[in-house]
Chains A and B, each alone.
Chain A
Amino acid sequence: NAGVTQTPKFRVLKTGQSMTLLCAQDMNHEYMYWYRQDPGMGLRLIHYSVGEGTTAKGEVPDGYNVSRLKKQNFLLGLESAAPSQTSVYFCASGQHTGELFFGEGSRLTVL
């Protein structure tokens, strides 16, 4: 049972490049989330999904897009990366009880 798996774990981009972070969960959870973690800022919600085919904006959605074509996968896209998007990104999944299961994070650096 792998839980929540994020790929890639590390990535360096140049300003203006695009990329996609992939999150996969094997727990059949309805809800999936993308957070970013920056020093002193805690965990901020970027986008989330309450089920296959649905997405919604979180606290800091600008510059990101997401898709949930399959229940087990949640993709986070950066169309034109900016240095302000340098961060550690965490994917999480959960059910209605509220407990979230997090991946191990993806560290992104934008030069």
Chain B
Amino acid sequence: GENVEQHPSTLSVQEGDSAVIKCTYSDSASNYFPWYKQELGKGPQLIIDIRSNVGEKKDQRIAVTLNKTAKHFSLHITETQPEDSAVYFCAASWNSGGSNYKLTFGKGTLLTVNP
């Protein structure tokens, strides 16, 4: 089955700096790569996703890049703010019967943004 490795496990940055979290996946058939943000005491929430026919996607201060050849994808957060502090999970999924319904998650990265 799919295996997703996520690094680093913890990341501390100063407010205003950029943060980068990296993930690798094992199954070349995977074609959907979402990122989830989990705030303390809450469930994870999707913040951005990318499909394998796209190399990069941006949404305001966050962006995701995908390198299919190397089988890795990354989350980039620019101009970090204290409210970006959370646990971030990457995930990978392959299309089965027209649906990307089964995700494999990385182990998560605890991001701390220091004021």
Interface size on B, residues (CB 8 A): 25
Q: Mark B66-89, 1 if CB is under 8 A from A, else 0.
A: 000000000000000000000001
B101 touches A94 (CB 8 A): yes
Q: Mark A11-44, 1 if CB is under 8 A from B, else 0.
A: 0000000000000000000110000000011111
A42 touches B101 (CB 8 A): no
Residues of B bordering A, CB below 8 Å: 6, 9, 32, 34, 36, 41-46, 49, 89, 93, 98-108
For this complex, 22 residue pairs linking A to B, each with C-beta atoms less than 8 Å apart, are A30-B101, A31-B99, A40-B9, A40-B107, A41-B107, A43-B105, A45-B104, A50-B101, A90-B44, A94-B101, A98-B93, A98-B99, A98-B101, A99-B46, A99-B49, A100-B34, A100-B36, A102-B44, A102-B45, A103-B43, A104-B41, A105-B43
Residues of A bordering B, CB below 8 Å: 4, 30-31, 40-45, 48, 50, 90, 92, 94, 96-100, 102-105
B106 touches A90 (CB 8 A): no
Smallest CB–CB gap between B96 and chain A, Å? 10
Which residues of B have CB within 8 Å of A50? 101
Number of A-B contacts (CB under 8 A): 59
CA distance A82 to B102 in the complex (A): 27
B43 touches A98 (CB 8 A): no
Which residues of B have CB within 8 Å of A41? 107
With A43-B105, A50-B101 in contact, do A99 and B43 touch (Cβ < 8 Å)? no
Which residues of B have CB within 8 Å of A30? 101
Which residues of A have CB within 8 Å of B49? 98-99
Which residues of A have CB within 8 Å of B9? 40
Partner of B103, one of A90, A96, A98: A98
CA distance A98 to B97 in the complex (A): 13
A4 touches B43 (CB 8 A): yes
Q: Across the interface, name the chain B residue whose C-beta is closest to A97.
A: B100
Which residues of A have CB within 8 Å of B32? 98
B99 touches A104 (CB 8 A): no
B108 touches A42 (CB 8 A): yes
